[in-house]
Structures are given as structure tokens and as C-alpha cells.
Amino acid sequence: MTMGLIGNRTKLAVDIGDYWEGSKQNQHIKVWLGGKDITSVDDVVYLPTFYHNLKNDIEKLKSHTHVIIDNNSSDEALFIQFEMTDAAQHRILSLDLTTMSARCYYVHSQNSSYIIFSYWDERHEPRSEVGKVFHVDIEKEEIVNTLQETLHNISTKWY
């Protein structure tokens, strides 16, 4: 039951693949951000958790709970600040704990909208990318649209 690619890999895309070993609760799903696979180590998601977290990200983005950020900070400094303060209102794409090999934060300012992310999983290849902060310019509406289309295209028949 392959669904295919939703979104644009150079910005944000979700590639919905087959069920894992016939399971209705586990499915191959790859998430692409800025042309990089942020599910590079393991792409099998537990659908109930993935669905719930996807829905929460959509609601968070629609509710405007993120804080407008002053653009004077570098991406690296901002990422460290978010990590140190557990900036849950900016955390995004934390869809499945065992699958996501990068931590991602949505940043909105008066002049821009983007996601910064960094690979945390030491098994990620190439290893030179682990710990490096990446930046993807993307409008909030594009994020919401991609996540909503994904939500509508994954199975909710888990049992």
C-alpha cells in the first residue's frame, strides 16, 4: 500500500511507503526537509504515535503558539537556545521518537519563516552532518498543507 510523496523534498515532504512486515500499526514513512532525509536511520513509524504527533504539529502551527523571533541570532545560536530552554512551542516534526534522526524547530519572524534542524543520531550518514544546523526557508502554510495532506493519507485502521 504505497501512497507516495506528499510535498516537495527541497522544502518539506513526506513519503508514505508500505506497511512494515504486514503490520497495520507500523509503516515505512520518510520525512524530507531541505532535501535531506530526517528519517535516515529508521523509517518505520508506529502509526498511532505518528498520527497523534502530526495532528499536534498542525494544531500548534494553526494556533500561533510560536513566539516571533528576533532575526539577529545565527541559526546555530538559536538552535542551542531552543535546545537549552526546551522550546516546545517551536519544536516541530517530532513525529516518532524512534524514527526522527533530527530535531527541528519552526522559526517565525517579521521578515521570514523557516525551520532549523540538526541531526542528533550518531548513526546518521554522513556523520559530518551530525550536530550541524541546517536552515530551510518555508512558509507556515506550506508546512501545514503538507502535514494535513499526510494526515489525510495515512491509515487510521491500526487494529
The reported pLDDT for the residue numbered 71 is: 62
pLDDT per residue as tens digits for the range 41-92: 889 999 999 999 999 999 999 987 776 676 678 999 999 999 998 788 889 9
Tell me whether residue 15 is exposed, middle or buried, using C-beta atoms within 10 angstroms of its C-beta: 0 to 12, 13 to 18, 19 or more. Answer: buried
HEC secondary structure over 89-136: CCEECCCCCCCCCEEEEEEECCCCEEEEEEECCCCCCCHHHECCEEEE
Q: In the structure grid, which three cell numbers stand for residue 122, read together?
A: 550518531
The length of the chain is 159
